[in-house]
Chain A
Amino acid sequence: MDIASTYGLPEIALQLLVGLSRSMILFIIAAGLSLILGVLRVPNIAHGSLYMIGAFAAYTVNTVIGGAAGFWLSLILAPLFVALLSLIAERALFCHLYEREHLMLLLFTFSLMLILGDMVKLLWGVDYKSVTAPNVLKGALMIFGLPFPRYNLFLLIIGPIVGFGLWLFVSKTRIGKISKAASVDRMMVGALGINVSWVFCTAFVIGCFLAGLGGALVAPTMGITLGMDHTIIMEAFLIVVIGGLGNIWGALVGALIFGITHSLGVMLLPQFAIIFPYLAVVIVLIIWPRGLLKSVW
Chain B
Amino acid sequence: MFKGMIHKKTALALVAILLVMLILPHMIPRFYVYLIASILVMALLAMSLNLVVGFGGLFQFHHGVFFGVGAYAVALLLTKTTLPKWICFISAPFVAALAGLIIGLICIRLSKLYFAMIQISLGSLLWALAFRWYGFTGGDDGIHGIPIPSAMSGVSNSYYFILIIFVLCIIALFFILKSPFGSTLQAARDNAQRCEAIGVFVKRHQLFGIIIASFFAGVAGVLFVVLEGSVFPDLLFWVLSLEILIMCLLGGWFTFAGPIIGAALMLSLRTFIGIHTEYWTLILGIILALLIFFLPQGVWGYFQEKWTLRKEAVAERGQ
Contact = CB atoms under 8 A, between A and B. Distances in A.
A111 B118 contact: no
Nearest to B237: A230
B309 interface: no
Contact of A107 (B106, B110, B288): B288
22 contacts: A93-B289, A100-B292, A108-B292, A110-B242, A111-B284, A111-B292, A114-B284, A114-B285, A115-B289, A118-B285, A234-B124, A241-B121, A272-B129, A274-B128, A274-B132, A275-B128, A278-B121, A282-B118, A285-B117, A285-B118, A286-B106, A289-B109
A238 B121 contact: yes
B238 interface: yes
B117 A237 contact: yes
Interface centre among A117, A119, A285 (most CB of B within 10 A): A285
A104 interface: yes
Nearest to B278: A121
B59 interface: yes
Contacts of A238: 117, 120-121, 124
A115 B281 CA distance: 7
Chain B residues touching A, range: 35 or more
Interface in B237-292: 237-239, 242, 245-246, 249, 278-279, 281-282, 284-286, 288-289, 292
Interface string A97-119: 10010111011101111110111
A265 B113 CA distance: 28
A110 B244 CA distance: 12
B166 interface: no
Contacts of B307: none
A114 B281 contact: yes
Secondary structure type dominating chain A contacts: helix
Interface string B46-61: 0000000100000101
A24 interface: no
Contacts of A178: none
Interface of B: 53, 59, 61, 106, 109-110, 112-114, 117-118, 120-122, 124-125, 128-129, 131-134, 237-239, 242, 245-246, 249, 278-279, 281-282, 284-286, 288-289, 292-293, 296
Given A102-B113, A121-B279, A285-B118, A108 B289 contact: yes
A282 B246 contact: no
Interface string A222-238: 00000000100010011
A56 B245 CA distance: 29
B249 A117 contact: no
Given A115-B281, A118-B279, A118-B282, 4 more contacts: A111-B284, A111-B292, A114-B284, A282-B106
A290 interface: yes
A43 B134 CA distance: 34
Given A272-B132, A272-B133, A115 B113 contact: no
A135 interface: no
Contacts of A108: 288-289, 292
A43 B116 CA distance: 11
B53 to A, nearest CB: 8
A115 B282 contact: yes
A245 interface: yes
Contacts of A93: 289
B279 A122 contact: yes
B138 to A, nearest CB: 14
- The listed residue with most A CB atoms (<10 A of its CB), out of B61, B129, B237, B289, is B289
Interface in A247-290: 271-272, 274-275, 278-279, 281-282, 285-286, 289-290
Interface in A77-136: 93, 96-97, 100, 102-104, 106-108, 110-115, 117-119, 121-122
B314 to A, nearest CB: 32
B245 A107 contact: yes
Q: Which of B106, B121, B124, B278 has the most CB of A within 10 A?
A: B121
A278 B246 contact: no
Contacts of B289: 93, 108, 111-112, 115
Contacts of B281: 114-115, 117-118
A245 B113 contact: yes
A241 B128 contact: no
B59 A271 contact: no
Given A100-B296, A107-B249, A118-B282, A241 B129 contact: no
Contacts of B282: 114-115, 118-119, 122
B49 to A, nearest CB: 12
Nearest to B243: A110
A234 B238 contact: yes
B246 A110 contact: yes
A237 B128 contact: no
Given A107-B292, A285-B118, A278 B132 contact: no
Contacts of A112: 285, 289
B42 to A, nearest CB: 17
A282 B296 contact: no
Contacts of A115: 281-282, 285-286, 289
Contacts of A97: 292-293
Contacts of B296: 100, 104
A245 B261 CA distance: 35
A107 B242 contact: yes
B135 to A, nearest CB: 9
B125 A107 contact: no
A275 B292 contact: no
